[in-house]
């Protein structure tokens, strides 16, 4: 048994209001540099919709993740030799237009324009070419179902639906899906990188790109089925969500979580057996992947596991954090959080509590009964089709979704009766596989959701780290500029595209301690 600790996140989709605050704060923190304008390491998609980039979930075309071929787990885009043979042209690469062509506006014109008959306007200017452009696609083009009658049919999740969903006003549905890098247990991006520049941190599972070692081979972008490895077209290097490791290491939640208005994000660690990962990712039936992944997680309360973890160098405070971990609680104990697209076989570590939705019933009004035979069937009439959720979270297994939704409904019903001091018939809890204690615990964690319950983040033991100086530049973005204009220093360049000319990088990289 090889015990590893792994950070994970749970997002409670019931609470997401689609405000994009997470995307904005992430962008301000990490991707406000030339070459990264188009990147949203954290983005919020309205589902149904094509997504960002377009049709990222159409894996027959995008070729991300793993597949089982002749009983063996292999990268879907091709193995090592095939990658090297195709290194001059990656035929499966996503194009920047699939995300969107980044633009700014010609704001100067508002001020400089001579007097004319009409008010001057700020026309959009492409950040790739510096020329005026017409905007025909953007990062949130489908926000709140905008244009869904056109694009919704191209949502790859729709093809799994039995009934033909019509995108008509009365029948349509929607939900928000915030997405960050999944920091997978079995990362296919890391496995696709020929240079060995991408790596998974042994001590906490965070997946990073070594900016000094990246050689621009761009297979990671194809390898990631979530399309969460981006290409900085200015530096020609891959970049991705860092799980805000500088914050995490000091016990603070990621910036997307910290600023989440709906407080729907949870961060914690799980202990897992790394020796079981390959086997779990290789199970033949896609629908077994969810259970197989749960099977790799270790019980942090088990004294044997604790002893072995300590022996293998997991710090005691991390084991304690694993016990309090909201991720472990919601994914393993309560079983209300599910992995996103487990069929990609990367064993993702950002899990989702599927959203409830109003049911489209004939009864009208509230269902004011405790009879499970009346309440639970309403789940099948939820506006968001069960099969759609199953396509997102369980590789199409709608029974799992139904069970999770049952729990969410049972917990709410129980709490309503409790608050009203009414007689409660426990059969609805029993049917959902819960007790009063578990319902209460679920309520505390998902409804009260105290800060210290949502974020159980053990600090990293940097005091034990090896020579940090040698590792400069290998973990992230130390080349990022400080605010150049606000320090009273040099004036900002008129043309943002000129930032990187004339040996700019070389100068910044003077200190990189690399041996030959």
Partner 1 sequence: MTSLDIFLWIVFPYISMTIFVLGHIYRYNKDQFGWTAKSSQFLEQKRLRFGSTVFHWGIIFVFLGHVGGLLIPKLWFDTIGITDEYYHFGAIWFGGLAGLAVVVGGFFLFLRRVSVKRVVKNSSPSDYVALIMLGIVVLVGFTNTAGYTASGGTFDYRVVIGPWVRELLTFQPSQAMVASMAQAPIGFQLHVTLAFVLFAIWPFTRLVHVFSLPLKYLNRNYVVYRNAKPYGTPKTKTKYDVSSK
Q: Which of the residues 290 through 319 are near partner 1 (CB under 8 A)?
A: 312-313
Which span sits near partner 1 by CB under 8 A: 336-344, 412-420, 469-477, 481-489?
469-477
User: How far is residue 56's CA from residue 79's CA, in Å, rounded to a whole number?
Assistant: 21
Would you say 163 or 507 has its CB closer to partner 1?
A: 507
Would you say 167 or 217 has its CB closer to partner 1?
A: 217
Would you say 4 or 179 has its CB closer to partner 1?
A: 4
Site string for partner 1, 215-254 (x = CB under 8 A): xxxx--x---------x-xxxxx-----------------
Would you say 149 or 236 has its CB closer to partner 1?
A: 236
The backbone region for 284, taken as left when phi is positive above 0, alpha when psi lies in -120 to 50, beta otherwise, is: alpha
Answer for the pair 211, 473: CB distance below 8 angstroms, yes or no: yes
Which residues 146-205 are close enough to bind partner 1 by CB under 8 A?
A: 186-187, 190-191, 193-196, 198-203
C-beta of 485: minimal distance to partner 1 in Å?
A: 23
515 binds partner 1 (CB under 8 A): yes
Would you say 88 or 169 has its CB closer to partner 1?
A: 88
Please identify which residue in the block is written with the tokens 């081979």: 217
Of the residues 80, 166, 307, 416, which one makes contact with partner 1 according to CB under 8 A: 80
C-alpha separations of 105 from 40, 108, 212 in Å = 19, 9, 33
Would you say 25 or 474 has its CB closer to partner 1?
A: 474
User: How far is residue 317's CA from residue 323's CA, in Å, rounded to a whole number?
Assistant: 10
Answer for the pair 189, 198: CB distance below 8 angstroms, yes or no: yes
Of the residues 23, 29, 42, 90, which one makes contact with partner 1 according to CB under 8 A: 90
470 binds partner 1 (CB under 8 A): yes
C-beta of 90: minimal distance to partner 1 in Å?
A: 6
Question: CB count, 10 Å around CB of 226?
Answer: 24
Of the residues 83, 265, 276, 335, which one makes contact with partner 1 according to CB under 8 A: 83
Which residues 13-52 are close enough to bind partner 1 by CB under 8 A?
A: none
At 478, phi and psi to the nearest 5? -70, -10
* DSSP state string for 258-307: HT-TT--EEEEEEEEEGGGHHHHHT-SSGGGHHHHHHHHB--TT-HHHHH
* DSSP state string for 350-405: EEEEPPP--B--SS-S------HHHHGGGGGGBSS-HHHHHHHHSTT-HHHHHHHH
Question: CB count, 10 Å around CB of 417?
Answer: 15
Which residues 120-149 are close enough to bind partner 1 by CB under 8 A?
A: 128-131
451 binds partner 1 (CB under 8 A): no
At 410, phi and psi to the nearest 5? -60, -40
460 binds partner 1 (CB under 8 A): yes
C-beta of 443: minimal distance to partner 1 in Å?
A: 38
Q: Measured on CA atoms in the order 191, 460, 242, 468, is the torsion positive or negative? A: negative
Of the residues 70, 81, 162, 362, which one makes contact with partner 1 according to CB under 8 A: 81
R_g of the chain, CA atoms, integer Å: 24
Helix (H) or strand (E) segment spanning residue 72: strand 72-75
Closest Cα partner for 179 from 391, 393, 350, 383? 350
472 binds partner 1 (CB under 8 A): no
User: How far is residue 433's CA from residue 410's CA, in Å, rounded to a whole number?
Assistant: 10
Of the residues 58, 106, 143, 212, which one makes contact with partner 1 according to CB under 8 A: 212
Would you say 89 or 169 has its CB closer to partner 1?
A: 89
C-beta of 236: minimal distance to partner 1 in Å?
A: 5
Q: How many residues bind partner 1 (CB under 8 A)?
A: 75
Of the residues 112, 464, 483, 494, which one makes contact with partner 1 according to CB under 8 A: 464
Would you say 93 or 415 has its CB closer to partner 1?
A: 93
Would you say 212 or 431 has its CB closer to partner 1?
A: 212
Would you say 118 or 506 has its CB closer to partner 1?
A: 506
Would you say 21 or 195 has its CB closer to partner 1?
A: 195
376 binds partner 1 (CB under 8 A): no
95 binds partner 1 (CB under 8 A): yes
User: How far is residue 180's CA from residue 279's CA, in Å, rounded to a whole number?
Assistant: 26
C-beta of 467: minimal distance to partner 1 in Å?
A: 6
Whether omega for the bond prior to residue 53 falls within 30 degrees of 0, making it cis, is yes
Of the residues 287, 479, 496, 499, which one makes contact with partner 1 according to CB under 8 A: 479
Would you say 99 or 176 has its CB closer to partner 1?
A: 99
Q: Which residues are registered as beta bridge partners of 46?
A: 176
For 420-514, where are the alpha helices, taking DSSP H only? 427-431, 436-443, 451-454, 504-508
Report residue 118 as tokens.
Answer: 């009409």
278 binds partner 1 (CB under 8 A): yes
């Amino acid at each position: 048994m090889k015990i590893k600790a792994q950070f994970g996140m749970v997002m409670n989709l019931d609470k997401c209001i689609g405000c994009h605050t997470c995307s904005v704060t992430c962008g301000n923190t990490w991707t406000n540099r030339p070459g990264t304008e188009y990147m949203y390491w954290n983005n919020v998609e309205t589902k149904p919709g094509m997504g960002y980039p377009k049709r990222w979930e159409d894996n027959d075309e995008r070729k991300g993740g793993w597949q089982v071929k002749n009983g063996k787990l292999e990268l879907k885009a091709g193995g090592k030799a095939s990658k090297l043979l195709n290194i001059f042209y990656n035929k499966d690469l996503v194009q920047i237009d699939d995300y969107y062509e980044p633009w700014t506006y010609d704001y100067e014109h508002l001020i400089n324009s001579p007097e004319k008959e009409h008010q001057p306007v700020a026309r959009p200017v492409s950040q790739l070419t510096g020329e005026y452009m017409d905007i025909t696609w953007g990062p949130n083009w489908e926000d709140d179902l905008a244009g869904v009658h056109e694009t919704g049919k191209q949502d790859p999740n729709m093809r799994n639906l039995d009934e033909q969903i019509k995108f008509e006003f009365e029948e349509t549905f929607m939900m928000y899906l915030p997405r960050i890098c999944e920091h997978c247990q079995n990362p296919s991006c890391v496995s696709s990188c020929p240079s060995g520049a991408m790596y998974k941190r042994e001590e906490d599972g965070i997946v990073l790109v070594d900016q000094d070692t990246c050689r621009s081979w761009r297979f990671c972008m194809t390898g990631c089925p979530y399309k969460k490895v981006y290409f900085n077209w200015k530096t020609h290097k891959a970049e991705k969500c860092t799980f805000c490791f500088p914050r995490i290491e000091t016990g603070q939640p990621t910036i997307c979580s910290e600023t989440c208005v709906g407080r729907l994000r949870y961060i914690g660690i799980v202990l897992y057996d790394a020796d079981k990962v390959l086997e779990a990712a290789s199970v033949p039936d896609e629908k077994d992947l969810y259970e197989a992944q749960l099977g790799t997680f270790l019980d942090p309360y088990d004294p044997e596991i604790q002893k072995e973890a300590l022996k293998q160098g997991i710090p005691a405070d991390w084991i304690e954090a694993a016990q309090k971990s909201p991720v472990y609680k919601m994914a393993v104990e309560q079983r209300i959080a599910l992995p996103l697209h487990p069929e990609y076989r990367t064993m993702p570590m950002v899990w989702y509590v599927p959203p409830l939705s109003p049911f489209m019933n004939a009864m009208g009004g509230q269902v004011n009964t405790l009879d499970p035979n009346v309440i639970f069937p309403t789940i099948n009439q939820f506006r968001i089709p069960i099969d759609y959720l199953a396509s997102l979270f369980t590789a199409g297994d709608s029974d799992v979704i139904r069970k999770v939704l049952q729990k969410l409904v049972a917990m709410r019903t129980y709490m309503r009766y409790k608050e009203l001091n009414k007689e409660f018939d426990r059969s609805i809890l029993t049917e959902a596989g819960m007790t009063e204690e578990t319902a209460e615990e679920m309520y505390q964690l998902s409804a009260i959701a105290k800060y210290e319950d949502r974020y159980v983040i053990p600090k990293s033991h940097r005091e034990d780290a090896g020579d940090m100086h040698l590792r400069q530049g290998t973990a992230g973005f130390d080349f990022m500029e400080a605010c150049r204009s606000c320090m009273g220093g040099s004036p900002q360049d008129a043309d943002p595209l000129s930032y990187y000319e004339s040996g700019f990088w070389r100068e910044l990289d003077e200190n990189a301690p690399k041996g030959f």
